[in-house]
Structure 1
Amino acid sequence: MKSRSIVMALVLGAAGVRPAAALDPRYPDWPCSQAKVPEISLAAVWAGPPLDDLAPRWRDDPGIHEMVARLAARRTPLADAEQMAADFLAQAPADRTERGKALFRGLFDRLNAERSTVMSGLERVTRKQRRQAEKIRSDTLELENLQEATSPDQAKITQLSSQLAWETRIFEDRRHVVRFVCEAPVAIDQRIFALGRAIQQAMEE
């Protein structure tokens, strides 16, 4: 009975865990401690020449398109990406301004889209966690009722206990993943800003 009480306490404790409370009521499914900023504006990360007219055109240049993919990849260290951008623009000094503008427009479009995908995924996981928490609570109450029955069905108790342990493990694993992934939008913001600054500096050289 003592071991059963300990297991019940652990399960009930896990079932009571909820996704992080939303800091902004406009975004009830946002799980991160950082405030949700749905979109980054160009003006917040770019102080160079206007880029609005380049929105669709940067994709038409194979060299720009390839470089955008390389610079946007987070597996590429930021310092390396900054140097790669500078080297790329130095290859064509006469066309440096236009290439720099197209390069950053491509980076902005690609990283902003990636950021939106990550944020949507976080909110989708939060909704799953909410449903999972309700399932854990429901199954915990059912297990408690089975254990307190006059003639307990031990086979069913064992099956439901195993199911609860698995559900709780999934819940906790997701919670840890969410904490880690919450850093991704911040890292993307920092990458956009840093690469924008590096490109502007290279354009002015």
Structure 2
Amino acid sequence: MKVRVLAAAVLAFAVASAAARAADPRYPDWPCTQAKVPEISLAAVWAGPPLGDAETKWKDDAKISALVAKLSARKTPLEAAEKSVKEFLAASGSDKATNAKLLFAGLFDTLNAQRSQVMSGLERVSRKQRDAADKIREETLELQALQGATPRDDAKVEALSNELIWKTRIFEDRHKVVRFVCEVPTAIDQRLFALGRVIQQEME
């Protein structure tokens, strides 16, 4: 009974994965219900002046680079990040416009890279989950055959049952993690948009 109940999670994953592939065949490994957007568009998050050479030069400024790392970290609360942006630009004096563009360019690069890393990880786990689902289904059929065999080998039945329960629980745990991590790209989008808005407001 336990094996049949736990294996339902595997079937649910298989159905969800098939639905995701049907929804957008361009990304067959994408496991999330949220649509996959490979990169954030600059135009979607920045309505300020053209960034120009700031897109490459922000890395050359140690102070900007350090601040970008702090603001990009998910452990930094968004409210604290917005406050840091305001304080930094308020203290920039005549360099305010330049620093604002450098700061946003750094955030745009860094947060886009974070998104790509998270999304690649999600797709790797999705492929592993599909392989695991196939294996569990195979072993479930094998278990059913063992249970119906005459004479029945109870030791083999128990061993395979325990193995299936263990594998399916690992599968379920991974599935829960995937659902949680699927929210991360959206959170990164929101952080970049919010910080970009603060930077633009401070430039005005």
Partner of 1:14: 9
User: Please, which moves more after superposition, 6-15 or 64-73?
Assistant: 6-15
Give the match's secondary structure for 1:75.
coil
CA distance 1:73–1:11, shift in 2 (3 Å):
closer
Counterpart CA distance in 1 for 2:3 and 2:33 is 30
- 8 Å CA contact 2:7–2:168 kept in 1: the answer is no
Q: Secondary structure at the match of 1:109?
A: helix
1:76-121 alpha-carbon deviations (Å, 9 max, x no partner): 1111111100100111211000000000000000000000111111
Distance 1:171 1:126 in 2: 11
What's the CA shift for 1:26? Answer: 1.1
CA deviation map 1:132-189 (0-9, x unaligned): 1101100001111111111122221111111100110011111111111111000000
**Do residues 74 (structure 1) and 74 (structure 2) align?**
yes
The answer for the alignment partner of 2:124 in structure 1 is 124
CA displacement at 1:40 relative to structure 2: 0.9
Query: Is structure 2 residue 92 aligned with structure 1 residue 97?
Result: no
Alignment match, 1:108? 108
After superposition, residues 41-52 of structure 1 pair within 5 angstroms as 41-52=41-52
Q: Residue 184 of structure 2 aligns with which residue?
A: 184
Paired residues, what number? 199
Summarize deviations over 1:55-83 as a string: whole Å, max 9, x none.
Answer: 22111111000000111111111111111
Match of 1:137 in 2: 137
| Partner residue, 1:28 | 28
In 1, the alpha carbon distance for the partners of 2:179 and 2:149 equals 40
Superposition TM-score, scaled by structure 1 size: 0.93
Cα shift at 1:124: 1.1
Q: Structure 1: state its 5+ residue gaps.
A: 1-5
Q: What displacement does 1:52 show? A: 4.0
Check the 8 A contact 1:136/1:164 in 2, yes or no: yes
Give 1:3's aligned residue. Answer: none
SS in 1 for 2:53: helix
Cα 1:12–1:88, aligned 2, differ >3 Å: closer, same or farther?
A: closer
RMSD (Å) for aligned C-alpha atoms: 1.3
Give the drift of 1:18: 2.0
Structure 2 residues not aligned, in runs of 5+: none
2:50 maps to amino acid? P
% identity of equivalent residues: 62
**TM-score, scaled to structure 2:** 0.93
The equivalent of 1:84 in structure 2 is 84
Structure 1 runs of 4+ aligned residues shifted over 6 Å read: none
Query: Letter of the aligned partner of 1:193 in structure 2?
Result: F
Query: Match for 1:85: what amino acid?
Result: V
